[in-house]
């Protein structure tokens, strides 16, 4: 009961107290339930067990339904949950498939925050995990303002007929009427002559065309409090807090109601009507006999000879006299009692109530109570349970059809869950309560009613779907429609119709909601549910869902539920349309889904695998289009270029430098996923080149320096037996706008070929020098004879090249010989001496001429060799490592031409 309604009830009890009656203390406020359906125009949404902690493992659903065309608003009074694991999600519609307004946890909502719907329904889901379930929430909801015809009797005599609701206390007209009616005793006592107007302005304010109601004037409230407050205080009660005058506006025709009633200021502590003192009613001849618990009394005259009648509420039996008569100041019998019996028999049952023994107190142990119910022929009996609490698994309520208690019961009920309604097949049923030896629990309360047999029964709900079924029986021609939950496909008829005929039946069996094993999904959003078990599965299954949203978006996967039980079952998500794509996530019974998954592009592949059993558990996920994420622009490089303008995840860009610069860093960088996405390496930079490329060292040669900077020089030489082909010295030259280059191409070392003339071997009666046994082209050998012998032939031989290509080297003349000298007379000695001088001259001359000839032949041979080698050098010179001098006109070595004398 709202606080104001409760207080008004106490006020009414206070007036009765003045007549000698005792007010009843109201029951303490019970903890709030977990969720519920709300159709009033105003109310409170409370976390489970409020105002206590909501506890662990809560799962509550709150459905709010306003009038069609109206909207709803939520106003937060208090909100505090665990930061992680406990969440309140608000959906803008009738179920969890509606758009999400927001998900809140921790202290994300504060007092005064408002959440508005776009339609006439809101769906709230609250869940908590297994730890730290402390705190809670208190949220007020209200319907949009609208005008209604005044139906509250207390306010129908005022000068307006239309009131705006919700009123100033956020109530609809029904609640307002119940609450204001409890102030009727004060109005009748006329403790303030305008109390009726003040109360109606608060509870049923006139509809004046605005979006909200005006409040009554503060002075009108103060006058009512001044006139009626003292009467309330006389019986120990204070003026109600929700009628606090300090919150009302001051007198102004534009802002408050009732200013025209206030002709003059009201002095403090006074009223325009004097307070009325309540006088005790004279004591009657008989005392008030009271009323039995769970019953009522008819008759209020307690004078001598008067009679009062007693009756019990439905489900209770009266024990004692049903009437009492006052005689000589006392009643002629004790007050009767009303009890809930253990069993009974009811014939011609039409409608009534059955209660467990002692209800609402606990039932006793060792009970066996049987109720027989019989309706007229052609009628069926329906049971509707209001409350149900039996010791789970120990105490049972059995329901039998056609008075057959020994047969199998139609229903065996136990525990604390309120059973669904049940309709019999015949007009006779039996209920039997059986309890064990333990003390019982709260028991049950049910309504029975007889129903004509000419109806179709409720076809019932379907698994993983919803229906429009709102009643138990349907007339011919009426229909029930079915719709599957997100992620399921409907197999069968979506609409069932009750057929005409003597026995009403539906035109088809209820449909089935089936979750497919895989599929191609191209909508902007959708739901994937764990596949319906396959009874023929013997080896396991792989289910593939290919999701492809608009190419300008990426895919976000959000898990609604995930509970895999099979050890081999897993769910994998790939960043693309096939198994070759990069894996994004892999979930299993030991690694359940815990966070949203994002793709880098517009496609994902969802793979679910399970083994040969069908007890793999279940999951549900929703995919939606999400904005693509990018890496920040990496920028360009100075003295270089960047190639690529796509900065999305896993894209890459490339960098190059101008000719005179080298790239320092990575030539290619890749955008890596992350929060936020980042490049895998920093942007490179272009550095000015200040050195020539290393010219290298020729094989079988050496270099005198490793300095390759601009202006430096390096020199080359070859090992013995090799000759240098090219420039001996290279210099690194700078070039504006281009890389530095060497001024010549690197030289090479080439092997000098070995070519020998035959060894003279042996000279009879003489000798020769040198005796090296290796006579290269150009070598000179000198011959001489022993004493007493004379040299015949050339004294000197020179080793020459062969006469034709490929011919072996040869000596320039035949080998000489030594012959014995002839002895002459002394007269001829002078002539001999003269001949000797001439011979000596000739020999010397030949030696000189031979030396010149040998030198020229040797030079000619070397020049020919040089020319044969240089013919292997390319005729042009175009190498980026080297710079060709502008004045270089050397076409290669020349061979001197000479004539031998």
Please provide residue 9's backbone torsions phi and psi, each rounded to the nearest 5 degrees: -65, -40
Q: pLDDT tens for residues 685-741? A: 999 998 999 999 999 999 999 999 999 999 999 987 788 899 999 999 988 888 899
- b/e per residue 380-399 (b: at least 16 CB within 10 A): bbbbbbeebbbbeebbbbbb
- Going from the C-alpha of 142 to that of each of 150, 168, 180, 736, the distances in angstroms are 20, 11, 20, 81
Q: Which residue has the tokens 């429009």?
A: 468
527-533 mean pLDDT: 94
Give pLDDT, residue 847: 55
Compare 648 and 235 and report the one with higher pLDDT: 648
Compare 99 and 26 and report the one with higher pLDDT: 99
264-275 mean pLDDT: 42
Least confident residue range of 244-258, 357-371, 424-438? 244-258
Q: Is 60 exceeded by the pLDDT of residue 873?
A: no
Q: Are 882 and 741 in contact (CB under 8 A)?
A: yes
Q: Quote the longest CA-to-CA distance of the chain.
A: 218
Give the C-alpha separation, 126 to 56, whole Å. Answer: 11
Give the C-alpha separation, 564 to 566, whole Å. Answer: 6
- Going from the C-alpha of 432 to that of each of 428, 435, 517, the distances in angstroms are 14, 10, 46
Tokens of 840: 């000596």
Q: Is 90 exceeded by the pLDDT of residue 392?
A: yes
Compare 791 and 51 and report the one with higher pLDDT: 791
Q: Do the two domains 473-513 and 756-823+838-870 of this chain adopt the same fold?
A: yes
Share of the chain above pLDDT 90, in %: 40
Q: Is 60 exceeded by the pLDDT of residue 277?
A: no
Q: What is the CATH number of domain 756-823+838-870?
A: 2.10.70.10
What does the DSSP 8-state code read for residue 182?
G
Give pLDDT, residue 450: 87
Q: pLDDT tens for residues 340-351? A: 999 999 999 988
Most confident range, picked from 56-70, 290-304, 483-497: 483-497
Tokens of 247: 């919150």
Residue 15's pLDDT band (cuts 50, 70, 90): very low
Residue 180's pLDDT band (cuts 50, 70, 90): confident
Please state which CATH class domain 701-751 belongs to.
mainly beta
ω before 360 within 30° of 0 (cis)? Answer: yes
Give pLDDT, residue 889: 38
Q: pLDDT tens for residues 618-635? A: 999 999 998 777 889 999
Q: Give the dihedral of Cα atoms 393, 395, 399, 404; nearest 10 deg.
A: 110
Q: Is 90 exceeded by the pLDDT of residue 207?
A: no
The answer for residues whose C-beta is within 8 angstroms of residue 242's C-beta and 6 or more apart is 3, 4, 169
Give pLDDT, residue 593: 81
Q: Are 626 and 556 in contact (CB under 8 A)?
A: yes
Give pLDDT, residue 621: 94
The answer for residues whose C-beta is within 8 angstroms of residue 331's C-beta and 6 or more apart is 286, 289, 324, 325
Q: What is the CATH number of domain 3-25+158-261?
A: 1.10.2000.10
User: Has domain 473-513 been given CATH number 2.10.70.10?
Assistant: yes
ω before 711 within 30° of 0 (cis)? Answer: no
The superfamily CATH assigns to domain 519-627 is Spermadhesin, CUB domain (2.60.120.290)
End-to-end CA distance of the chain: 147
Q: Is 70 exceeded by the pLDDT of residue 364?
A: yes
Compare 862 and 227 and report the one with higher pLDDT: 227
The answer for residues whose C-beta is within 8 angstroms of residue 444's C-beta and 6 or more apart is 354, 355, 356, 359, 385, 387, 388, 389, 390, 397
Q: Is 80 exceeded by the pLDDT of residue 834?
A: no
Q: Is 60 exceeded by the pLDDT of residue 835?
A: no
268-281 mean pLDDT: 41
Neighbours of 614 (CB within 10 A): 14
- Going from the C-alpha of 325 to that of each of 293, 330, 335, 433, the distances in angstroms are 20, 8, 11, 39
Q: pLDDT tens for residues 217-262? A: 888 898 888 888 887 777 677 788 878 888 888 766 567 888 777 7
**DSSP SS3 for 12:** helix
Q: Are 120 and 47 in contact (CB under 8 A)?
A: no
Please provide residue 557's backbone torsions phi and psi, each rounded to the nearest 5 degrees: -110, 125
Give the C-alpha separation, 473 to 498, whole Å. Answer: 10
Give the C-alpha separation, 147 to 150, whole Å. Answer: 9
Neighbours of 482 (CB within 10 A): 22
Give the C-alpha separation, 528 to 544, whole Å. Answer: 11
318-327 mean pLDDT: 92
Give the C-alpha separation, 547 to 521, whole Å. Answer: 5
Q: Average pLDDT of the chain?
A: 81
793-808 mean pLDDT: 78
Q: pLDDT tens for residues 726-779? A: 999 999 998 888 889 999 999 999 887 667 888 887 788 899 999 887 788 788
Q: Give the dihedral of Cα atoms 410, 416, 421, 423; nearest 10 deg.
A: 20
102-112 mean pLDDT: 84
The number of C-alpha atoms within 13 Å of 568 and in the hemisphere containing its C-beta is 11
Domain residue ranges of the chain, discontinuous segments joined by +: 3-25+158-261, 36-143, 344-453, 473-513, 519-627, 640-680, 701-751, 756-823+838-870
Residue 454's pLDDT band (cuts 50, 70, 90): confident
In 697-852 the beta strands, taken as DSSP E runs, fall at 701-703, 713-718, 722-725, 729-735, 738-742, 748-751, 756-757, 766-769, 775-776, 780-785, 789-792, 796-800, 810-811, 817-820
Dihedral sign, CA of 15, 17, 19, 22? positive
Least confident residue range of 139-143, 480-484, 580-584, 811-815? 139-143
Neighbours of 465 (CB within 10 A): 18
Q: Is 50 exceeded by the pLDDT of residue 326?
A: yes
Share of the chain above pLDDT 70, in %: 82
Q: pLDDT tens for residues 144-171? A: 777 888 899 889 888 888 888 878 787 8
Residue 606's pLDDT band (cuts 50, 70, 90): very high
The answer for residues whose C-beta is within 8 angstroms of residue 684's C-beta and 6 or more apart is 637, 655, 663, 664, 665, 666, 667, 669
User: Has domain 36-143 been given CATH number 3.40.640.10?
Assistant: no
| DSSP line for 804-828 | STTPPPEESSPPPEEEEPPP--STT
Give the C-alpha separation, 526 to 97, whole Å. Answer: 10
Give the C-alpha separation, 593 to 608, whole Å. Answer: 13
The number of C-alpha atoms within 13 Å of 151 and in the hemisphere containing its C-beta is 11
Compare 378 and 20 and report the one with higher pLDDT: 378
The answer for residues whose C-beta is within 8 angstroms of residue 175's C-beta and 6 or more apart is 2, 5, 40, 42
Please provide residue 331's backbone torsions phi and psi, each rounded to the nearest 5 degrees: -85, 155
CATH topology of domain 344-453: Jelly Rolls (2.60.120)
The answer for residues whose C-beta is within 8 angstroms of residue 759's C-beta and 6 or more apart is 773, 775
Give pLDDT, residue 727: 93
Kindly report the pTM of this predicted structure: 0.34
| DSSP line for 589-641 | SSS---S-EE-SSSEEEEEEEE-S-S--EEEEEEEEEEE--BPPP----TTEE
585-602 mean pLDDT: 87
Give pLDDT, residue 309: 92
Q: Is 90 exceeded by the pLDDT of residue 864?
A: no
Q: Are 185 and 234 in contact (CB under 8 A)?
A: no
Give the C-alpha separation, 631 to 678, whole Å. Answer: 5
Q: Is 70 exceeded by the pLDDT of residue 846?
A: no
């Amino acid at each position: 009961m709202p606080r104001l309604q409760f207080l008004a009830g106490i006020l009414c009890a206070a007036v009765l107290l003045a007549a000698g009656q005792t007010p009843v203390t109201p029951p303490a406020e019970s903890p709030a339930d977990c969720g519920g359906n709300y159709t009033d125009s105003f109310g409170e949404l409370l976390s489970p067990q409020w105002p206590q902690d909501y506890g662990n493992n809560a799962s509550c659903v709150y459905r709010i339904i306003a009038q069609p065309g109206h909207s709803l608003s939520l106003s937060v009074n208090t909100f505090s949950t665990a930061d992680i694991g406990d969440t309140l999600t608000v959906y803008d519609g009738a179920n969890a498939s509606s758009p999400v307004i927001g998900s809140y946890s921790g202290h994300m909502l504060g007092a005064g925050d408002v959440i508005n719907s776009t339609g006439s329904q809101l769906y709230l889901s609250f869940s908590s995990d297994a730890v730290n379930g402390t705190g809670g929430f208190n949220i007020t909801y209200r319907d949009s303002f609208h005008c209604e015809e005044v139906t509250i009797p207390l306010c129908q005599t005022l000068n307006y007929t239309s009131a705006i609701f919700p009123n100033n206390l956020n109530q609809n007209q029904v609640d307002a009427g119940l609450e204001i009616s409890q102030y009727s005793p004060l109005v009748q006592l006329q403790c303030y002559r305008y109390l009726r107007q003040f109360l109606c302005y608060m509870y049923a304010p006139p509809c004046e065309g605005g979006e909200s109601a005006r409040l009554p004037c503060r002075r009108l409230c103060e006058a009512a409090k001044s006139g009626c407050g003292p009467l309330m205080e006389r019986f120990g009660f204070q003026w109600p807090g929700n009628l606090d005058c300090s919150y009302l506006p001051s007198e102004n025709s534009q802002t408050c109601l009732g200013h025209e009633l206030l002709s003059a200021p009201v002095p403090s502590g006074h009223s325009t009507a004097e307070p009325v003192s309540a006088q005790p009613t004279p004591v009657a001849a008989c005392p008030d006999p009271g009323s039995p618990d769970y019953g009522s009394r008819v008759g209020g005259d307690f004078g001598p000879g008067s009679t009062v009648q007693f009756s019990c509420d439905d489900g209770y039996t009266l024990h004692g006299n049903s009437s009492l008569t006052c005689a000589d100041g006392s009643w002629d019998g004790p007050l009767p009692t009303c009890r809930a019996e253990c069993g009974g028999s009811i014939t011609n049952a039409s409608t009534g109530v059955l209660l467990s023994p002692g209800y609402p107190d606990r039932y006793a142990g060792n009970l066996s109570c049987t109720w027989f119910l019989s309706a007229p022929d052609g009628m069926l009996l329906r049971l509707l349970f209001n409350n149900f609490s039996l010791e789970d698994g120990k105490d049972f309520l059995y329901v039998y059809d056609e008075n057959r208690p020994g047969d199998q019961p139609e229903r065996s009920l136990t525990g604390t869950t309120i059973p669904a309604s049940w309709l019999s097949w015949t007009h006779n049923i039996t209920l039997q309560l059986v309890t064990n030896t333990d003390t019982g629990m709260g028991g049950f309360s049910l309504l029975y009613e007889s129903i004509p047999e000419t109806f179709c029964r409720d076809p019932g709900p379907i698994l993983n779907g919803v229906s429009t079924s709102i009643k138990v029986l349907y007339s011919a021609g009426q229909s029930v429609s079915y719709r599957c939950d997100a992620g399921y496909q409907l197999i069968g008829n979506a609409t069932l119709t009750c057929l005409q005929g003597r026995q009403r039946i539906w035109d088809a069996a209820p449909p089935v909601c089936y979750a497919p094993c895989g599929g191609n999904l191209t909508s902007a959003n959708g739901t994937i549910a764990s596949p319906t078990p396959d009874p023929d599965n013997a080896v396991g299954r792989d289910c593939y869902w290919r999701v492809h949203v608009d190419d300008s978006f990426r895919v976000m996967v959000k898990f609604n539920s995930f509970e895999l039980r099979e050890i081999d079952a897993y769910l994998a998500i790939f960043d693309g349309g096939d198994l070759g794509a990069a894996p994004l996530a892999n979930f299993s019974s030991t690694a359940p889904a815990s966070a949203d998954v994002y793709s880098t592009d517009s496609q994902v592949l969802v793979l679910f695998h399970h083994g040969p059993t069908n007890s793999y558990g279940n999951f549900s996920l929703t995919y939606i289009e999400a904005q693509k994420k990018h890496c920040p622009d990496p920028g360009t490089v100075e003295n270089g270029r960047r190639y690529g303008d796509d900065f999305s995840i896993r894209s890459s860009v490339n960098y190059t430098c101008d000719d005179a610069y080298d790239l320092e860093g990575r030539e290619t960088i890749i955008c890596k996923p992350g929060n936020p996405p980042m490049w895998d390496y920093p942007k490179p930079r272009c550095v000015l080149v200040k050195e020539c490329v290393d010219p290298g060292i020729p094989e079988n040669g050496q270099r005198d320096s490793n300095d390759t900077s601009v202006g430096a020089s390096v020199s080359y030489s070859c090992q013995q037996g090799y000759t240098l082909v090219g420039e001996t010295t290279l210099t690194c030259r700078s070039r504006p706008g281009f890389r530095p280059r060497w001024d010549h191409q690197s030289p090479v070392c080439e092997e000098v070929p070995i070519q020998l003339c035959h060894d003279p071997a042996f000279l009879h009666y003489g000798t020769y020098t040198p005796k090296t046994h290796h006579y290269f082209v150009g070598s000179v050998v000198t011959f001489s004879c022993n004493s007493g012998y004379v040299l015949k032939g050339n004294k000197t031989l020179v080793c020459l090249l062969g006469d034709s290509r490929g011919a072996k080297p040869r000596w320039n003349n035949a080998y000489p010989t030594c012959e014995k000298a002839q002895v002459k007379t002394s007269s001829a000695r002078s002539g001999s001496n003269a001949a000797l001088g001439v011979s000596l001259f000739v020999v010397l001359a030949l030696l000189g001429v031979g030396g010149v000839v040998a030198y020229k032949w040797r030079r000619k041979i070397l020049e020919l060799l040089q020319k044969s080698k240089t013919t292997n050098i390319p005729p042009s010179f175009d190498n980026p490592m080297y710079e060709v001098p502008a004045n270089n006109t050397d076409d290669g070595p020349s061979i001197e031409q000479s004539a031998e004398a």
